[in-house]
Amino acid sequence: MSNSRELHVAILASPGIGHLNPVLRLGRRLTTLVNNIKVTILVVSSTMSPPTSTLLQSLGVEKEAEIEIIGLPPVDISHLITPTTQVVTQICMINREALPAVKSTIAAMNNRPDALIVDLFGTEAIPIAKEFNIPKYVFITTNAWNTTLWVYVQVLDKQVQGQYLDQEEPFEIPGCKPVRPEIVVDPMWDREDQRYFEYLRVGMELSLSDGVMINTWEELEPVSIRALRQNEVLHGILKVPVYPIGPLSRPAEPSGLKDEEVRKWLDKQQADSVLYVSFGSGGTLSAEQIIELAWGLELSNQKFIWVVRPPIDGSFDGAFFSVGETGSSNDGPRFLPPGYTSRVQERGLLLPIWGQQVEILNHKSVGGFMSHCGWNSTLETIAAGVPIIGWPLYAEQALNATMLSQELGVAICPDVLPGRTIVLRQEIAIMVRRVMGEKDGKIMREKIRMLQESGKNALSEGASSYNSMIEVVRDIELRLSES
Ligand code: UDP
């Protein structure tokens, strides 16, 4: 699509690779589809995390052609938090503290943006767009089902007595799939905690925008998308248009894996024979669970690559603020069973802290992914056509895993949700053999390759997500012409 004058769109990225990554993809999508567009990405960060440049490096992004990336000055929230302040709360605090910098950075631009897009935790910046009198949108970096819950929680808050996790019946969301109490998002785990109030607030603030973009596509989530658009109750709460514009995920580098050891090891293996094990940018397991996982992988007798992080008891997202840091090769074995590294050396490759995930998933030898089911990881594994063992830990991952296993049939999950109780080695070994095997594995692989196609199609010219993205750009232009 082309427009007569240059359109300048600013996108605000919340702290964390899981937000920065899809925001970069959105920027790239805009510059690919629209001629005469400039995209500026403002990256919020804190003094607790590695600098923005390190995060970009770990995503393999040195520089994005046609996109200007501005790292806002890191904010310090150390005086606001206690050891029990949850990650979601901290993300919201960091975003809040960064608001003056967002405003002054936009004000100082010679070429002021024509529109502001904020990601799902950036809704408090919407009034800044109002001050500059420019259109404003929210980019939900996860899926539509999760968005239905996020929108509806303000109703559940009034209806449900006591903790959500203690309820016996699923939560009915009008026009949508019900949500079982045990799979609600982590901000709903404790209604007294600040992260719950932050979550409620964001659900309400979505309606302050001119539209909500979601990193999903019509053909993947027809029911949830229809409900957000048309259901009397749900749309009555959300009020603004919904644009499914995905799947936006990072493609593999054409040069493949930079890490020679990993590349050489994978090159030696048979097609679809290796399980990749990783729990996202922030996921951590307890010491006891790491031992069980180690044994389970060994007992499965399958080949695997495992991104190993030090254990943190009582936390599922303990690496969130150290995300992007790479480990030293000595880190891995410390907390594994004695002699483990040498016993599995023919069969398993242990990567400390971080792996080149997209390139690993796209290697022909990789045939399964044990994943925490973060939405970026989910889209990446769909794009690579690799079936999943769903191991949800925090955020909306249990919803994602449920959708992948029960609705789409491309994942298997442990009987109990990981984190609530230890998943034992025997169950792990069985799941690994199933996902890598000829029976279930083959069926799931076929199904996920159909999703892979469906996602690709949605992005192609004239298809659902392509059209949605163009609609957003037209909406920006229309609003500008009217202002
Ligand atoms: N990632 C990676 N290597 C790792 C861990 C994570 O490249 O060792 C990337 C992964 O490819 C994905 C992002 O970090 O793009 C994690 O996002 P996701 O939404 O899956 O989970 P989150 O980290 O936000 O929980």
Domain boundaries, the chain: 7-250+459-482, 260-455
Asked whether the predicted pLDDT for residue 457 surpasses 50, the reply is yes
Q: Distance from the CA of 139 to the center of ligand 1, in angstroms? A: 18
Average pLDDT over residues 286-296: 95
Domain 7-250+459-482, classified CATH 3.30.2010.10, yes or no: no
Q: Which helix (H) or strand (E) holds 13?
A: strand 7-13
Q: How far is the CA of 118 from the centre of ligand 1 (A)?
A: 20
What tokens appear for 92 in the block? 């919201």
Q: Establish whether residue 380 lines the binding site of ligand 1, counting it when its CB lies within 6 angstroms of any ligand atom.
A: yes
Which is more confidently placed, 255 or 123?
123
Rounded distance between C-alpha atoms, residue 311 and residue 137, angstroms: 38
Q: What's the order of all strands across the beta sheet hosting 115-119?
A: 67-71, 37-43, 7-13, 115-119, 136-140, 212-214, 242-244
Nearest residue (by CA) to ligand 1, atom 13, is 18
Per-residue pLDDT band at 325 (split at 50, 70, 90): low
CB 257 within 8 A of CB 285: no
What percentage of the chain has pLDDT greater than the value 70?
96
Segments in 144-185 forming alpha helices (H):
144-159
Res 353: pLDDT: 86
Is the Cβ atom of 400 under 6 angstroms away from ligand 1? no
> pLDDT confidence of 254, banded at 50, 70, 90?
confident
**Could you report how far apart the first and last alpha carbons of the chain are, in Å?**
22
Cβ(392) to ligand 1 under 6 A? no
Q: Does 354 sit in the ligand 1 pocket, CB within 6 Å?
A: yes
The pTM (predicted TM-score) of the whole model is: 0.95
For the Cβ of 390 lying below 6 angstroms from any atom of ligand 1, the answer is no
Task: Assign a CATH topology to domain 260-455.
Answer: Rossmann fold (3.40.50)
Mean pLDDT is lowest, of 123-127, 285-289, 330-334, 458-462, for: 330-334
Strand 303-308 relative to strand 388-390, pairing: unpaired
Instruction: Report the DSSP beta bridge partners of residue 418.
Output: 421
pLDDT of 329 higher than 70: no
Cα 294 off chain centre by: 25
pLDDT of residue 413: 96
Q: How many residues does the chain have?
A: 483
72-94 as b/e: b if 16+ CB within 10 A: bebbebeeeeeeeebbbbbbbbb
Which of 119, 281, 381 for a ligand 1 pocket mutation test, highest count of atoms within 8 Å of Cβ? 281
Instruction: Flag whether pLDDT at 6 surpasses 80.
Output: yes
- Look at 56-60, 264-268, 381-385 and tell me which has the smallest mean pLDDT: 56-60
Q: Are residues 93 and 77 in contact, defined by beta-carbon separation less than 8 angstroms?
A: yes
Q: What is the pLDDT, as a whole number, of residue 57?
A: 82
Residue with tokens 């514009």: 245
Cβ of 282 closer than 6 Å to ligand 1, yes or no, is: yes
Summarize the confidence of residues 360-375 as an average pLDDT. Answer: 97
- What confidence score (pLDDT) does residue 51 get? 83
Average pLDDT in the 120-149 region? Answer: 97
Residue nearest to atom 7 of ligand 1 (CA): 357
What pLDDT, on the 0 to 100 scale, is given for residue 473? 97
Would you place residue 187 in the very low, low, confident or very high pLDDT band (cuts 50, 70, 90)? very high
Does 322 have pLDDT greater than 80? no
Alpha-carbon distance of 289 to 278, in angstroms, equals: 14
**Res 12: pLDDT:** 98
Taking 80 as the threshold, does the pLDDT of residue 364 lie above it? yes
Secondary structure of residue 172 in the 3-state scheme = coil
For ligand 1, the distance from its centroid to the CA atom of residue 146, given in whole angstroms, is: 18
Residue-averaged pLDDT of the chain: 93
10 pLDDT higher than 70: yes
Q: List the strands of the sheet with 388-390, edge to edge.
A: 348-352, 303-308, 274-278, 366-371, 388-390, 411-412
